[in-house]
């Protein structure tokens, strides 16, 4: 045996028994399982068919409002995020500074505060809004919620889009230019398809966060899923009102998570070896 081989350190001995991290991990898992079984057991033994028959239609209606709010906000936010992302990547200091201030404000302040500023703040300017014909839009709480959510998610989506585009190697731009492709053609046919693969997970996380944050609009009198749960609890004082709505949110999040994973597997199949 050579001296070099003798100097090679052997791997540490394999851990046997039950170390403390493993014990703590199993204990936490068992605790969560017990908590979940407790919730299920409570719902089984405290099943109230009268409550379910009375408030289930309201929950379904609220679910439709929640899905509409999130879908419209995400689409409007995606459209608005494009010029904001362009501004963030621009070499023009004024344009870049304005885009930075927009992103900084909406990412640095709570969504609840932004919703209040739009719903209650713009209500203070009713005469001015009536003069320009916007009062009919902003007097509706649902419209105010959509407006606030769209502005908020646009800031996050702009940063996601900017980071995804900048992650594509500069050589892709240079190669497309050598082929005589216009910048818009390069962006649409070469850069964006690669950038969207990188951005899919962050976009999915943003969508999930928007679904959970949509409960905020219940505070401004929008009868979404959470708003109807508050109404059901106020009338019945039954904690099931909140347990059922939590389960509905959990199911929505899980469905979205699995859908995003399925899309990611489909669009990255060419990268797997």
Phi (first) and psi of residue 18, to 5 degrees: -120, 90
Tens digit of each residue's pLDDT (9 = 90 or more) over 143-164: 999 999 999 999 999 999 888 8
- Token output for 161: 């889009």
Residue 55 has a pLDDT of: 82
Residue 71 predicted with pLDDT over 90: yes
Q: pLDDT tens across 83-102, in order? A: 998 888 888 888 889 999 99
Place of tokens 């070099």: 4
The whole-number average pLDDT for the span 172-192 is 75
Could you give the domains of the chain?
A: 48-266 (1.10.3720.10)
Give how far the C-alpha of residue 187 lies from the chain's centroid of Cα atoms, to the nearest Å: 25
Residue 6 has pLDDT above 70, yes or no: no
Global pTM reads: 0.80
Whose structure tokens read 């239609």? 57
Average pLDDT over residues 198-227: 89
CA–CA dist 142, 237 (Å, integer): 26
Q: CA nearest 206: which of 249, 251, 160? A: 160
Average pLDDT, the chain: 84
- Per-residue pLDDT of 226-258, as tens digits, reads 988 888 888 888 788 888 888 889 999 999 998
Select the highest-mean-pLDDT range: 141-155, 176-190, 219-233: 141-155
Q: Between residues 168 and 152, which one has the greater pLDDT?
A: 152
**pLDDT for the residue 209:** 92
Return the pLDDT at 156. 94
- pLDDT of 138 reads 85
The three-state (H, E, C) secondary structure of the chain, written as one string: CCHHHHHCCCCCCCCCCCCHHHHHHHHHHHHHHHHHHHHHHHHHHCCCHHHHHHHHHHHHHHHHHHHHHHHHHHHHHHHHHHHHHHHHHCCCHHHHHHHHHHHHHHHHCCHHHHHHHHHHHHHHHHHHHHHCCCHHHHCCHHHHHHHHHHHHHHHHHHHHHHHHHHHCCHHHHHHHHHCCCCHHHHHHHHHHHHHHHHHHHHHHHHHHHHHHHHHHHHHHCCCCHHHHHHHHHHHHCCCHHHHHHHHHHHHHHHHHHHHHHHHHHHHCHHHCC
Task: Report the pLDDT value the prediction gives residue 3, as an integer from 0 to 100.
Answer: 56
Rounded to whole angstroms, how far apart are CA atoms 71 and 40?
A: 31
Average pLDDT for 42-55: 76
Whether the per-residue pLDDT at 42 is higher than 80: the answer is no
Q: What confidence score (pLDDT) does residue 17 get?
A: 66
If you average pLDDT over each of 13-17, 127-131, 150-154, which comes out highest?
150-154
pLDDT at 207: 92
Using alpha carbons only, what angle is made at residue 256 by residues 254 and 262, rounded to the nearest 5 degrees? 105
Is the pLDDT at 173 greater than 80, yes or no? no
Q: Quick one: pLDDT band at residue 191, thresholds 50, 70, 90?
A: confident
């Amino acid at each position: 045996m050579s001296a070099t081989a003798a100097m090679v350190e052997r791997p540490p001995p394999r851990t046997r028994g039950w170390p403390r991290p493993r014990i703590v991990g199993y204990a936490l898992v068992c605790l969560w399982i017990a908590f979940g079984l407790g919730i299920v057991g409570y719902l089984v033994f405290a099943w109230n068919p009268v409550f379910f028959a009375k408030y289930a239609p309201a929950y379904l209606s609220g679910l439709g409002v929640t899905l509409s709010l999130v879908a419209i906000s995400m689409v409007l936010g995606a459209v608005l995020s494009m010029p904001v992302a362009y501004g963030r990547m621009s070499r023009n200091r004024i344009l870049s500074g304005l885009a930075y201030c927009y992103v900084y404000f909406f990412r640095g302040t709570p969504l609840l505060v932004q919703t209040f500023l739009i719903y209650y703040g713009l209500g203070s300017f009713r005469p001015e809004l009536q003069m320009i014909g916007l009062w009919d839009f902003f007097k509706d709480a649902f419209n105010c919620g959509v407006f606030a959510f769209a502005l908020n998610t646009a800031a996050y989506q702009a940063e996601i889009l900017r980071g995804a585009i900048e992650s594509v190697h500069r050589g892709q731009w240079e190669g497309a230019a050598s082929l005589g492709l216009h910048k818009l053609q390069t962006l649409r046919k070469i850069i964006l398809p690669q950038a969207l693969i990188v951005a899919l997970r962050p976009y999915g996380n943003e969508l999930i966060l928007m679904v959970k944050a949509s409960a905020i609009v219940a505070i401004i009198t929008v009868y979404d899923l959470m708003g109807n749960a508050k109404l059901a609890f106020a009338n019945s004082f039954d904690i099931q009102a909140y347990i059922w709505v939590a389960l509905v949110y959990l199911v929505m999040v899980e469905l979205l998570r699995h859908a995003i994973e399925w899309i990611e597997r489909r669009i990255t199949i060419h990268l797997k070896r």
